[in-house]
Chain A
Amino acid sequence: MSDDTPKKSGLLSRLFGTGAPAPAPEPLAEAPKPSWWQRLKHGLARSSSSIGQGITDLFTKRKLDAGTLEEFEDVLIRADLGLPVATRIVEAVGKGRYGKEIEGEEVKAILAAEVTRALIPVALPLVIDTAKKPFVILMVGVNGSGKTTTIGKLAAKFSAEGRKVMLAAGDTFRAAAIEQLQVWGQRTGAPVITRPQGSDASGLVFDALDKANEAGSDVLLIDTAGRLQNRTELMVELEKVIRVIKKKDETAPHATLLVLDATVGQNALSQVEIFGKMAGVTGLVMTKLDGTARGGILVALAEKFGLPVHFIGIGEAVDDLEPFNADEFGRAIAGLE
């Protein structure tokens, strides 16, 4: 998608950016921005520099021994890779190199390669099947993971691609969630289907499907209320929403995206498992990678579930959503230039 030129190319990013309609009247949108890859690296910088730094410190002028490997494992655990993945990477590094000297750069390369290898199979774009009209995308996730914001960004992206987008404010629970989506609707020019707060989400979704059909929308993005995966009653409610969608269109939802916050830890495994089981998640979106969190859990998720990772969110602005690239993510995590 973007380029490998690590130049500070505000323009480039604008060009590659989704060219969203006039940036929202917000002060933050003004400053020129570096390319998303730089921003990703910057976001991952604290973590990857600590990983990168940790590795460099660890593997300098030292023969590889059990102690070094154990510390290396700790470095990986800090990135939320989880124990099984960390153990495997440590083994990969230790294999055949025991007692020999090994350079930090070499270790980083191995780490990046391992992460990339695990993620390549899941780094798949979200393909909008134009035969399905509207193409229904359901957004699910725990509270505060960034569903509504991601919908806004997706809407901007799809509109920029020339698709006709409609939004359904299915989060009828949280205060002002509807208003939040409406703001995104205004920014992206997409109509927003709403019902008053507290109404039945399934009913709203039913309406939205009708309206999307009438309007001939290409894409219908459905927001849902955040719910913790262990709250059975809320998960059942989500199942109902899906049942209602299926009543209108047997093949819908055509994509069900689980939005994960990059700061999430091992709990993500349970989120993917349960949302997968109850809501038939077809792909993942990871948000808030612009913080210090590393999102290393993606590796563990890829190995366990193999669900596609479609997008990553790296900021609050409308174009801060990018397709997921395994190679770059691997390099960023390992702290490689």
Chain B
Amino acid sequence: MFESLSDKLSGILNALTRRGALSEEDVNLALREVRRALIEADVALDVVRSFTDKVRERAVGAEVVRSVSPGQMVIKIVNDVLVDTLGSEASPIDLEAVPPVAILMVGLQGSGKTTSTGKIARRLSDRMKRKVLMASLDTRRPAAMEQLASLGKQLAIEVLPIIAGQSAVQIAKRAMDAARLGGFDVVMLDTAGRTTVDDELMAEVAEVKAVTKPHEVLLVADALTGQDAVNTAKAFDERVGITGIVLTRVDGDGRGGAALSMRAITGKPIKLVGTGEKMDALEDFHPARIANRILGMGDVVSLVEKAVENIDQEKAMRTAERMRKGQFDLTDMRDQLQQIEKIGGVGGLMGMIPGVAKMKNQIAASHLDGKVVKHQIAIVNSMTAAERKNPDLLKASRKKRIAAGAGVSVELVNRLLKQHRQMADMMKLMGQNKRGGPMAGLANMFGIGGGGMPSPEEIAAMQKQMGGGAALPEFPGAAKAPAGLPLAGSAPKLPGLPGLGVKPTLPGLGSFNPFGGKKK
């Protein structure tokens, strides 16, 4: 549901990351764009305002971490504020009470109460094996009770028989009695839709609540709601007191501002989302995941977090600059290797990239553990300064000496040298093509997986696949990390990985800039 908001936000934020330094003006400009994007996504104005204020406040007060670019810092802040706004914990329906547990469904007309009632009842009875009774308290809309009855038949869930002429409160009482007698675990009470200004009906639902003492009062709200979402949420929370929100029609379109607004205004969690008209189209709501999806940054934020701790931006920049000029020597390579070690080795790094997590086991199986990197560092350490600068000096006797010094075989020394040569070539190639498109970071990422022993042709093919968007080598070390291991063969397949193909994760990868390398 958040696609269009996600597109816009990640676009805005990507523009920030491309800059080396951010002025206050830059941040303000970006926040104006963020404000616009949120308003267009129907996020309530009050929420938009407190959102941008929070981001600004934190951005201004933020400690400048030397090792990340300011733009990345802003992304992190926006992400944190989003999570704050949406809540971080998923909050399922709570049935921990003495049965029969009453669940009261309230909302505006046409928000989807009856359908949601059916969906929830089905979920409780199928998945949680509860005995559920549904009752319609809607005495107003024609055939509303029949609608629930017919849903009950369809779902094989019991529905309180209709007795014409009873008031909502009477029906509610009858439902609770019937549930007690019939040994039901849960009673779902579907109420009539009402406008928030209808005092009479609001009083009625308050009375029903007093009579049935529901354990959950769920506000059913339409995800397509505009600015009025605030009024709705506020009014129901104040007049009735809700315990959670069910957001319907989130399959509607790419907005979903209502979700942000309602959670922020009421502080009540969104418990479930309706994602289609079929009776099983009901999903749990995971705020943290949603926040990630809105930003479209995948798990990059956590990567940034780790990077913040471990990576020295200036060093990375120096290296990047040297590599761009084609001066990538073995010392640079060692720096990169050490950085990989710092952030938890290749395995740890790859685990953070959406979609690659699955490959983690494969990596483990391939013995691509810290040792490989450690050995490689040891090899470089066993060289003289002159050798590191100019690997061409290395002939058989020198190699033997180095291998002995590092405690490895000459074969491994050769392998390292070959990797270095290829990396240097690749760096040069990428350096020539400076167009840092949105896929720039991705190109680097593929470097991780496919870096093994790519021939120049493979590199060319890779770049082609990525729309030619090769980039400055911000992440050179990783490119050769899986050196000569079974993974190398999988390089050309990587673009097809399901996780990586998913749209929302791509923009995130686009901005992926783990070493904070500044683009010139």
Contact = CB atoms under 8 A, between A and B. Distances in A.
Interface stretch (B89-97, B108-116, B366-374, B401-409): B108-116
Nearest to A267: B224
Nearest to B40: A266
A269 to B, nearest CB: 10
Contacts of A175: 114, 118, 146-148, 150-151, 154
Contacts of B232: 263, 291-292
Interface string B208-234: 000000000000001011111101100
Nearest to A315: B195
B143 A176 contact: yes
A74 B141 CA distance: 36
Nearest to B110: A144
Interface size class of B (residues with CB under 8 A): 35 or more
Interface string A177-188: 111101110000
Interface stretch (A78-86, A132-140, A202-210): A78-86
Interface stretch (B124-132, B251-259, B333-341, B460-468): B251-259
B186 interface: no
A265 B42 contact: yes
Given A144-B110, A228-B252, A292 B196 contact: yes
A267 B255 contact: yes
A46 B231 contact: yes
B54 interface: no
A170 B115 CA distance: 19
Contacts of B235: 292
B144 A265 contact: no
A179 B109 contact: no
A226 to B, nearest CB: 8
Contacts of A74: 45, 49
A158 interface: no
A297 B226 CA distance: 9
Contacts, number: 158
Contacts of B224: 142, 261, 264-265, 267
B140 interface: yes
Nearest to B113: A144
Nearest to A24: B142
B226 to A, nearest CB: 2
A83 B36 contact: yes
Contacts of B197: 42-43, 45-46, 290-292
Contacts of B258: 265
A224 to B, nearest CB: 13
A163 interface: no
Contacts of B277: 143, 173-174
Given A77-B39, A80-B226, A230-B252, A174 B147 contact: yes
Interface string A67-105: 000000010011110110000000000000000000000
A267 B252 contact: yes
A82 B231 CA distance: 17
13 contacts: A74-B45, A78-B45, A145-B110, A173-B277, A175-B147, A175-B151, A231-B251, A266-B226, A267-B224, A267-B226, A290-B198, A291-B232, A297-B226
Interface of A: 26, 28, 42-43, 45-47, 74, 77-80, 82-83, 142-146, 149, 152, 173-180, 182-184, 197, 228-231, 261-268, 270, 288, 290-294, 297, 316
> Which 8 A-B residue pairings sit nearest by Cβ, starting from the closest?
A265-B226, A144-B110, A176-B147, A183-B142, A265-B42, A179-B143, A291-B195, A180-B143
